[in-house]
Structure 1
Amino acid sequence: MPLTFSKPDPAAIPLHLIASDQLDDALAALPDTARTWAQTQSFKAGHGELLTVPAPDGTCGLAMVGLGSAQDRARTRFPLAAARRALPDATFDLVSDLPEDALAAEYLGWLLAGYSFSRYRTSPAPKARLLAPQDPALAHRLEVIATGEALTRDLINTPAEDMGPADLADAAKALADQMSAKIEITEGEALLDKNFPMIHTVGRAADRAPRLIDMRWGESGPQLTLVGKGVCFDTGGLNLKPGASMGLMKKDMGGAATVLGLAHMIMALQLPLRLRVLIPAVENAVAGNAFRPGDILTSRKGLTVEINNTDAEGRLVLADALALADEDTPDLVVSMATLTGAARVAVGPDLAPFYTDSDTHAESLSRAAGKTADPVWRMPFHAPYEKMIEPGIADLDNAPSGGFAGSITAALFLRRFVDNAPYMHFDIYGWNPTAAPGRPKGGVGMGARALLDALPDMLDL
């Protein structure tokens, strides 16, 4: 089902959003029959609570959805989305005095609640429709964001059998074709010829050859380079993961999926910038030619890396891609990756931790996160931990022993490969473990909406 708003409909039914702490005033403003019905039905305007008011002919004449209390809204996003599938087959027109940003978030939540992953099994689509916001530019922006988010979700939800490196490259090609972007794919042994040794090494044991995806769009403006981890499946390599840890590894390309969804948003909205998207697409497999613990690899940048755990492969492929990004001297480099379990232990599955040396960028992103219902949390590039990633036998250690500060040391590792541009790194989860309003269980974008909203500040657009 397209994630779009309904066309204009003069017969649209009013749909009122009502906060529980403003219930009496809201009911007083309604027609007498609606107010009496709400009181008879003990409507409390709880978070996502739905009440439909019948018209004289028995159809739905008016609907109300509860926003709950301020505490409810802080705990669970998108109350309107929670009610969408329970609404009848009709077109509705939203009525609310919410602030602009909060109202936009409810419109977005409505669109996101229309998503379902239907590649292998169809699911009933919600029947209710909603008129677009009165501002056409806002309506277009929200539809673009929802479509980009759906792309991210679809890519993550697709199992590795159908989403290997070639399939991920095909998805990038389809996006490039749609948006008239340029794309170049470097595959297999050509990675060595073009000096991407760590991407090749990580992916060489798989039957499906590794790739580097390089997409460019835009002719003028500041340059933004997005780098996404595209590990299409991660066995852990010779440091094999236990089965319980391997079960979700189709999502280990969540960084790539997120930057492709974000790239869709940027291009569809015609932001005045030059965009480059780099995705190292690999499988970390087990075979006789797999890289080994104790190996020392030489990166594109020339830094040597001691392999102390083959399951810390994401930072290796990202390192070569980041080195390439840095050679271009862009105005901002952003990497997104499902990189460490340490990040999940630190902030759980719902927050997107990010790293930056720029207080200004951090403040812009944090403000944008609040506006877009896309929570993020700043983590530190803590310089005293640099020695933890320096093994002595090589320039860098891909998996410092001890287990402390795992997300920070991974971020510090990646920062070593960016010298010529401001750098921001997201250590995302890319998966929603429990269904929530507008966010079904499964793949999910994290940080993309906040970053999209913050880009004008970060790049002076």
Structure 2
Amino acid sequence: MPLKFANGDTSSIPVHVVKKDAFKGWLASQPEEVASWLGRTGFEAEAGESQLVPGASGNPQMAVVGYGTAKSRARGRFHIARAARALPKGTYHIASGLIGPALEEAALGWLLASYRFDRYRKQKPQKARLKAPKGVDAARLEVIAEGEALTRDLINTPASDMGPDELESVFLALADQHSASAAIISGDDLLKHNFPMIHAVGRASDRTPRLLDMRWGTAGPMLTLVGKGVCFDTGGLNLKPSSSIGLMKKDMGGAAAALGLAHMIMSLGLRLRLRVLVPAVENSVSGNAFRPQDILTSRKGLTVEINNTDAEGRLVLADALALADEEKPDCLISMATLTGAARVAVGPDLAPYFADDSGFVGALEAAAAQVCDPVWRMPFWSPYENLIEPGIADLDNAPKGGFAGAITAALFLRRFVENSPKYAHFDIYGWQPTAAPARPKGGVGQATRAILEALPSILEI
């Protein structure tokens, strides 16, 4: 379902966005019939509240949308998207009340509110359409919405229809769309090409494990994205309980986010060289599943003691990160639905990330605030390094005790990155547990818009 502005429509209904503390003054400037109508309907300009105002003929002459107070706006984002869902059928344009980043947020939120996942059931389209506001880069916003829709579609699709084969098909289609090159290493060839941990995690499934590798661009600094593509995670022999296994179709959310971001980068033609790596596996249970207490030797040569087969994401990422790091990219980013500890720490709405480079951190934090894509920095806390060193092997994939689980997972991944000057790891959730403005319940992109906005500063392009 394309997320586009209604630029072909010749007529549209003006939308006036009004802050609550300015509502009385705005109302005093309006014709008496407008003030009377809004008074009778009880409109108070709360954030996202909307009201259609009829003209003398009975047709709507305007829509008024509340922007609330600074305090109420701080308690959420994409408030105007609530109006997009509530207003009746028609084409609208934002006539007043918003400028700059706030106008851009409103326009993008309106687009994202029209997203529907309709693969298995016909969904009613959004009735209210928006003309691209003057002063925003409409084409860029449409590209961002397309990338977000790709991420959501991939996460929302159940594992029955989104296993490693299907993820590979989407990967190749994206490469073809953007004239990028792609290579696939699968099955026992993973061992021949020295990806032993990707093979170990995926070998128990009858859906062949693989590593997906895409390249795009010939000039500029190099950016490599590594996305966790565990298409379903049973937990392996350390089988997940029913309370934890229900949402595991989203365990490839890191890959989905990386592909959505890659689509944005390539569609916008950023001057950089892009590489995308996705280890695509299913963590299943069978007679040849990898076991607790096994010791695996990684691509990098580091040995890893397996103390929980449900901590498999860091294993497949480690081999992919080692490959990426061999090329010494200017910036290396991993994205994964990696730990429950991250969810406990910051909840589902924030995207925790780990980074040591101050330039990366500064650019990302500024960008996240600018585009309303919240992130939260977590520490690569080196004093915890001993927690991931079991003694019998170089590394432990699941330290005992449960403390600092997100940090120890990030430290584990950092062991496989030595040559990349800017490395960041995002431990995202990838799921909207309850519907919110511009974000229906289900799969969701996190941190991708912030990264996209920050890239020109991070890579100096």
> Do the two structures share a fold, i.e. TM-score over 0.5?
yes
Would the aligned equivalents of 1:225 and 1:277 in 2 still touch at CA under 8 Å?
yes
1:53 counterpart residue number: 53
For 2:435, the equivalent position in structure 1 comes to: 435
What corresponds to 1:94 in structure 2? 94
Deviation of 1:364 after TM superposition, in Å, equals: 1.0
TM-score norm. by structure 1 comes to: 0.98
- 2:29 aligned with 1:37, yes or no? no
Q: What SS does the aligned partner of 1:160 have?
A: coil
Q: What is aligned with 2:22?
A: 22
State how far apart, in whole Å, the 1-side matches of 2:395 and 2:126 are: 51
Matched residue, 1:160: 159
Separation in structure 1 between the aligned mates of residue 21 and residue 442 of structure 2, nearest angstrom: 33
Partner of 2:336: 337
Cα distance, 1:10 vs structure 2: 4.0
Give the match's secondary structure for 1:162: coil
1:228 alignment counterpart: 227
Aligned to 1:212: 211
Shift of 1:69: 1.3
For residues 290 and 8 of structure 2, the distance between their equivalents in structure 1, rounded to whole angstroms, comes to: 59
CA contact (8 A) 1:87 1:128 kept: yes
Deviation sequence 1:5-34 (CA, Å, 0-9, x none): 011544211111111111112223333322
Identity %: 65
Matches within 5 A, 1:230-379: 230-379=229-378
Alignment check: 8 A CA contact 2:341 2:406 kept: yes
Question: Structure 2: which 5+ runs fail to align?
Answer: none
Shift of the 29–174 alpha-carbon distance from structure 1 to 2, 3 Å rule, reads farther
Question: Can you give the 5+ residue segments of structure 1 that lack an aligned partner in the other structure?
Answer: none
Structure 1 CA distance for aligned equivalents of residues 286 and 251 of structure 2: 20
Structure 1 residues 22-31 or 387-396, which shifts more?
Answer: 22-31
By how many angstroms is 1:275 displaced? 0.4
- SS at 2:332 equivalent: strand
CA distance, structure 2, for counterparts of residue 73 and residue 275 of structure 1: 36
Aligned structure 1 segments of 4 or more residues deviating by more than 4 angstroms? none
Aligned mates of 1:210, 1:66 — CA distance in 2: 50
Partner of 2:411: 412
**2:293, 2:307 within 8 Å by CA — same for their partners in 1?**
yes
Preserved contact between residue 353 and residue 376 of structure 2 (Cα < 8 Å): yes
For 2:345, the aligned partner's letter is A
Q: Equivalents in 1 of 2:365, 2:99: separation in Å?
A: 18
Cα distance in 2 for residues equivalent to 1:417 and 1:100: 41
Q: Residue type matched to 1:335 in 2?
A: S
Cα RMSD of the aligned pairs, angstroms, is 1.0
Hey, what does 1:444 align to over in structure 2? 444
Kindly provide the amino acid, as one letter, of the partner of residue 132 in structure 1: A
- Mapped partners of 1:266, 1:28: distance in 2: 46
The aligned residue for residue 426 of structure 1 is: 426
Using the TM superposition, name which of 247-256 and 7-16 deviates more: 7-16
CA contact (8 A) 2:152 2:256 kept: yes
Residues in 2 aligned to 1:26 and 1:202: alpha-carbon distance in whole angstroms: 62
Match for 1:278: what amino acid? L
CA distance in 2, matches of 1:110, 1:31: 28
Deviations 1:177-227 (A, max 9, x none): 111111111111111111100000000000100010000000100000000
- What is the distance in 1 between the residues matched to 2:83 and 2:328? 47
Aligned residue type for 1:454: A
Determine the C-alpha separation between the residues in 2 that align with 1:85 and 1:362.
35
| TM-score normalised by structure 2 residue count | 0.98
Cα separation, 2, equivalents of 1:375 and 1:244: 27
Look up the SS of the partner of 2:376 in the other structure. Answer: strand
Instruction: Specify the alignment match of 1:117 in structure 2.
Output: 117
Deviation at residue 439 of structure 1 after TM alignment: 0.3
CA contact (8 A) 2:303 2:393 kept: yes
Deviates more, 1:411-420 or 1:15-24: 15-24
Across the two proteins, how many residue pairs are aligned to each other? Answer: 460
Distance in 2 separating the partners of 1:75 and 1:261: 27
Q: Does 157-166 or 41-50 show the bigger shift?
A: 41-50
1:68 and 2:76 aligned = no
Give the residue type in structure 2 aligned to 1:280: P
SS at match of 2:160: helix
- Alignment-mate amino acid for residue 56 of structure 1: A
Question: Corresponding residue for 1:455?
Answer: 455
Does the CA contact (< 8 Å) of 2:88 and 2:127 recur in 1? yes
| Structure 2 CA distance for aligned equivalents of residues 133 and 329 of structure 1 | 41
Distance 2:96 2:9 in 1: 18
Distance across 2 between alignment mates of 1:99 and 1:135: 8
Moved more, 96-105 or 215-224: 96-105
Aligned to 1:178: 177
Deviations 1:38-97 (A, max 9, x none): 122221011211110012221211101111111111112111111212212211110233
Q: 1:9, 1:345 → 2: CA distance?
A: 47
- The residue type paired with residue 276 of structure 1 is R
